[in-house]
Amino acid sequence: MEEIKLKVKNFVVGNFLFGNADGLDDDTSFLEAGILDSTGVMEVVAFLEQQFGVRVDDDELTPENLDSISSIGAFVSRKLQA
Amino acid sequence: MPLPEGFSKKVLEINPAQEADRICSRMRELVARSFRRRGFVVAVSGGIDSSVTLGLAAKAVGPERVLALLMPETHSAPETLDLSRLVADRFRVAHQYENISPLLEAVGFYDRYAAAVRRVIPGYERDWKSKIVLPSLLDRGGFRFFSVVAQRPDGSRVEARLPLEAYLEIVAATNFKQRARKMLEYYHADRLNYAVAGTPNRLEYDQGFFVKLGDGAADVKPIAHLYKTQVYQMADHLDVPEQIRSRAPTTDTYSLPQGQDEFYFSLPFDQMDLCLYGKNNGIDSATVARAIGLTPEQVDRVYEDIDTKRNGTRYLHLPPMLVAEVNEIG
């Protein structure tokens, strides 16, 4: 899971924060911190599907699965094990 | 807030005559003192917002100083042109017809749009019809992704969730429509030395249901403070033709009929108005839910969605930002 989280963090920092990771830790809520909007969530999902070869179903598009580096790490790990 | 017991659609009742006078007075002041122009151009679509804006402009400066622009294109609903002419005639305003299809063809809109849809629906051609839709907010929480619904010439339909690139390309392409119309509005405004009156209502202005530098551009937005319910009250007062007042609001953007509530807003406008009013005035979700027949959890989701959309709307309202002040301009 740590490897997944690292890849996600690199993507988020590079794509949404232009390299400045100040204030971002694994449990930071993307939405509350204003890092992602609805288009940003679509970008994250596209990244996960391309990077990890998983398909994110409609009922999986929830903050519980996608709103922080930790939650994405756990979600993708579950998907890869399924 | 001490009104929950009596919370109902009555909270949105206005005195339309008084409100029309206030709006028209401000429009006259702006056009004369701030814009230094001689009248107004209003783009009319056959919908309620543009009809009310046209009526207010005519009342503010006189119908002889207003031009109604009718700008349908290939995907527009067939009745929009007749309804637009009807309302221009009702307010005794001159109208001009500008078919924007050749303009859209020239910039490649129809081909670009079809190519974007083909990313998720192989085989999609220009003679198919389509629209994009959002899943209902009422059924479940979480993030909602747009889907495209396409209809083949034989009437059969196919639907597919839109990944990021296809979604952005579809929206970018359809934005040509609003921007082409705005370009023509300003052409006629410059030609006549008029100002442009925009037509957003409060829901649209607050929630970002407009295209930046498209229908979001205007010199004045006379009804941007009015909830949609109040726009209908104003329409009654101004005597907007009944065919327009009784017509369901549409986006007039996609080739398949599309309600605003399935594309952008979470609910039909009368419920959405009360949710927005409730949120703006600190009324708890249980009280609003009772008034509109939803559950408190559903209203909570609408409240969250209002915040989400407001976040996205800030960019749309931003003027060009400067890195350093230019004090002489202010």
| Model confidence pLDDT, tens digit, residues B35-63 | 999 999 999 999 999 999 999 999 999 99
The answer to whether residues B141 and B34 belong to one domain is: no
The answer to whether residues B120 and B54 belong to one domain is: no
Domains parsed from chain A with CATH numbers? 2-81 (1.10.1200.10)
The answer to whether residues B15 and B143 belong to one domain is: no
Please give the residue range of the domain that contains residue B121.
Answer: 109-168
The domain boundary residue, chosen from B218, B249, B280: B249
B149 by DSSP, 3-state: which?
A: strand
The domain boundary residue, chosen from B124, B143, B168: B168
CB–CB contact A59 B142 (8 Å): yes
**How many domains does the structure of chain B reveal?**
2
Tell me, yes or no, whether B323 lies in a domain: no
Of A66-80, B61-75, B185-199, B247-261, give the lowest mean pLDDT range: B247-261
The answer to whether residues B38 and B178 belong to one domain is: yes
Tell me, yes or no, whether B34 lies in a domain: yes
CB–CB contact A42 B167 (8 Å): yes
Straight-line distance from the first to the last Cα atom of chain B, in angstroms, rounded to the nearest whole number: 39
β-pair type (B157-161, B147-151): antiparallel
What pLDDT was estimated at residue A72? 97
CB–CB contact B163 A46 (8 Å): yes
CATH for B201 = 3.40.50.620
The answer to whether residues B77 and B132 belong to one domain is: no
B233 by DSSP, 3-state: which?
A: helix
The domain boundary residue, chosen from B168, B195, B218: B168
The 10s digit of each residue's pLDDT in B204-214 is 999 999 999 99
DSSP B11: G
B41 by DSSP, 3-state: which?
A: strand
The answer to whether residues B51 and B154 belong to one domain is: no
The answer to whether residues B21 and B142 belong to one domain is: no
Q: Give the burial string for B4-27 (b: 16+ CB within 10 Å, else e).
A: eeebeeebbeeebeebbeebbeeb
Share of chain B above pLDDT 90, in %: 82
The 10s digit of each residue's pLDDT in B154-182 is 999 999 999 999 999 999 999 999 999 99
Per CB-CB distance under 8 Å, the chain B contacts of A41 are 143
The answer to whether residues B96 and B29 belong to one domain is: yes
Per CB-CB distance under 8 Å, the chain B contacts of A61 are 142-145
CB–CB contact B143 A37 (8 Å): no
The answer to whether residues B73 and B186 belong to one domain is: yes
Tell me, yes or no, whether B263 lies in a domain: no
